[in-house]
Amino acid sequence: MSDEEKYGITETKEAMIFGVSMAMAVDEATQDGFQWTDVFKMVPALTKLPVAVEGIQEVPTELSDLSETERDELIQEIENLEFASEYSEQIAEQSLRVALELGKLIVLIREAKKEE
């Protein structure tokens, strides 16, 4: 990690991988109309959920100092999920937006529960 990369991208990567894996599972499950047995196609993606949300509140901080090297690393993660490279950057960017908003939502829900 260089001086410009104070926070790393561990939590961001975990949230992004979960989001893309879940989107892929939903896409596969709904190809021929959704049936209750299609839920089993989502299990591999759902196993990534606990790790993805554990530190999701760190995603906005990690993204605040995202370097080109880290950005390229995130795009490589998308390519490792067997996406054509022409879409890798777009998928990474969209999944980062989703991860950022999901992180904000989870933090907001946690704060609301504290006030109950």
In residues, how long is the chain?
A: 116
Eight-state DSSP code of residue 7: S
Q: Domain for residue 5, yes or no?
A: no
Q: Domain for residue 93, yes or no?
A: yes
Helix (H, G, I), strand (E, B) or coil at 89: helix
* Nearest-angstrom CA–CA distance, 20 and 37: 21
The pLDDT value given to residue 84: 67
E strands in 1-116:
none
The pLDDT value given to residue 14: 92
The pLDDT value given to residue 112: 93
Q: Which two tokens stand for residue 79?
A: 């390519």
Count CB-CB contacts under 10 A for residue 24: 18
Q: Domain for residue 44, yes or no?
A: yes
Instruction: Provide the residue range defining the domain that includes 65.
Output: 10-114
The pLDDT value given to residue 4: 58
Q: Which two tokens stand for residue 78?
A: 């998308």
The pLDDT value given to residue 100: 81
Q: Based on the structure, what is the number of domains in the chain?
A: 1
Q: Domain for residue 3, yes or no?
A: no
The pLDDT value given to residue 10: 94
Instruction: Report pTM.
Output: 0.80
- Residues of the chain with confidence (pLDDT) below 50: none
The pLDDT value given to residue 2: 53
Amino acid in the structure at residue 13: K
